[in-house]
Amino acid sequence: MSFSRTLNRPMALIARFRRDSNGNIAVIFAMALLPILIAIGCATDYSMAMRIKIKLQSAADAASIASIAVNSAGYLAAMSMTSDGPVSAGATEADNIFNGNAATGTGFTLVSKKSTVTKTGATLSSQVPFTANVPTTFLSVIGYKTLTVSGSSSSSTTLPLYLDFYLTLDVSGSMGLPSTDKEAQRMQAISPDNYRQYPTGCTLACHFSPQNSACTDSGTQGYPTNNYCLGYAISRVSQSGYKALLTTNRSNPMGVQLPSSVVSGLPDSLYSKLSTVANCPTDGTDACIQLRLDAVGYAVNQLFVTANNTRKITNQFRIGLYPFIRYLYSYFPLTSSINGSTTDPSSINYAAANLASLLDTNTNANLGSGGTHIDTALSSINSLIVSVGDGTATNNTLPYVFLVTDGAQDPQVKGVPNGSWSGSNHATVIDPATSCTPLKKRGIIISVLYIPYQKINPVNASFAGDEDDYANNNIPNIPTSLQNCASPGFFYTANTPADITAALNTMFNHAVAEAHLTR
């Protein structure tokens, strides 16, 4: 074997080794192993940090929502505030809720957490930020001992508003009419009032009492009453009992009469003989005849029920009763105590139930007597409402005026008691520009419930300067005048007792909803 062949063999092996790439995989894997392990470690540590962040974020979300929930400490504290600003009770509650939820987890150190709850007008907002350190395992090899995670949760709610409702209630003569046609027929069949002028039954102002020039034995009554108008008194007693008192006497226009012993002592003698009621919440019962104001009083009490069921916070709503004839009277001023009994004379519920007792009896100097002075009533309400707030605090209430009327403005007056008549008795309508616009310009919403004025039939054109025709001819003008008085969308009409109840509840709910939309 030659020397050259011997030398070439090792060289060929070296060249073959150099050309063989099969061993590179092991080398490359060895070189890549460290960064692969680092990447896997990073993913593991990062995944752990994200799981902890999700846990803490969930705790923050729960804290921000619960800290401003209805009846939470923050919510109640905010409702008692009279100005904007931080709500410390809410922030404390948010921190406590966050800490309680976060404590169920491990593997982190909380670095910072400072909850805030703030009241701004009718908005209550909560902020719950957090920062935490999560220790690492694999990343510590390359010098990263911890990962920092942070987050924040924000929630807000609209606070209920404090609202005042001024119920401006027409208690003039026409509101003393029976509440339905059937109730009117029951009244007309037995009431002697003004029978000579109206043989089909008295249709207007059949409630004047005690003795009154409108109801005289010698000139107007269907049977002797000692010059008393009996319409209201009859409406408060048992109907079957009253009919049983009447005996036949064909010399009287109605062909009947009361016993002389009853006549001489009216109206007390009537009340002493028969079962009586203070008010008549239901039509068609033997116990009484329901008048329009009875129906209104019942509806007002149902409004109280709605308000109590609607309120989100104590003292959220205040309601007052302000009846009017010639003057407006603070019969029951604003109160938040609207959950009383209709049998408790100290409660607004009792006052509402007995609205019919305020009918123009010509004896109440607070109300005056005679016509229907809606313009004066609205002017007086405007003076009563000293300030107009936005409803965001107890000292910043938002006022609403609920006007309940048949809309017939009558400028006549009568002296109290039993004075003379003065002024025109020809019905007209209010001027919204002078009666209603001043309130609306102040930001006061006027909600009107129109209880349609009933047409007088038959007409007695010779009676009182033909006031009947003037009243009838005025009826078509009433709805437009009241619509123009009401704030946009706040005009309602109701005929029956059920309609009146439904309308007042709708008016209340509309007011509450409108307040939240516009504030």
CB-CB contact of 84 with 121 (8 Å): yes
Give the DSSP letter of residue 151.
Answer: E
Measuring CA to CA, which residue among 365, 340, 368 is closest to residue 354?
340
Return the SS3 of 439.
helix
- Which pLDDT score, from 0 to 100, does residue 44 have? 79
Spell out the domains of the chain, with CATH numbers in brackets.
34-158 (no CATH), 163-177+291-518 (3.40.50.410), 184-273 (no CATH)
Those residues whose C-beta lies under 8 Å from the C-beta of residue 176, and which sit 6 or more positions away, are: 205, 206, 207, 231, 232, 291, 292, 293, 356, 359, 360
Burial class (CB in 10 A: 0-12, 13-18, 19+), 28: exposed
Digits of tens for pLDDT over the chain (519 positions)? 455 555 566 666 666 656 656 556 655 555 555 566 566 667 777 888 899 999 999 999 999 999 999 889 999 899 888 889 999 999 999 999 999 999 888 889 899 889 999 999 889 999 999 999 999 877 777 777 888 999 999 999 888 899 999 999 999 988 988 999 999 999 999 999 989 888 877 655 555 555 666 788 988 899 999 988 898 999 999 999 999 999 999 999 999 999 999 999 998 999 999 999 999 999 999 999 999 999 999 999 999 999 999 998 889 999 999 999 999 999 999 999 999 999 999 999 999 999 999 988 778 899 998 889 999 999 999 999 999 999 999 999 999 999 999 999 999 998 887 778 899 889 999 999 999 999 999 999 999 999 998 888 788 888 778 888 998 999 999 999 999 999 999 999 999 999 999 999 999 999 999 887 655
Angle at CA 184, nearest 5°, toward 407 and 254? 125
Measuring CA to CA, which residue among 381, 380, 374 is closest to residue 406?
374
Measure the CA dihedral 482/486/492/494, to 10°. -40
- Which pLDDT score, from 0 to 100, does residue 517 have? 64
CB-CB contact of 152 with 115 (8 Å): no
CB-CB contact of 58 with 108 (8 Å): no
Peptide bond into 438 cis (omega under 30): no
CB-CB contact of 351 with 337 (8 Å): no
What is the H or E stretch that residue 296 is in?
helix 292-310
Q: Is the dihedral of CA 168, 171, 172, 176 positive or negative?
A: positive
| Token code pair at residue 333 | 């001023």
**Distance in angstroms (rounded) separating the CA atoms of residues 380 and 359:** 19
Peptide bond into 479 cis (omega under 30): no
What are residue 82's DSSP bridge partners?
none
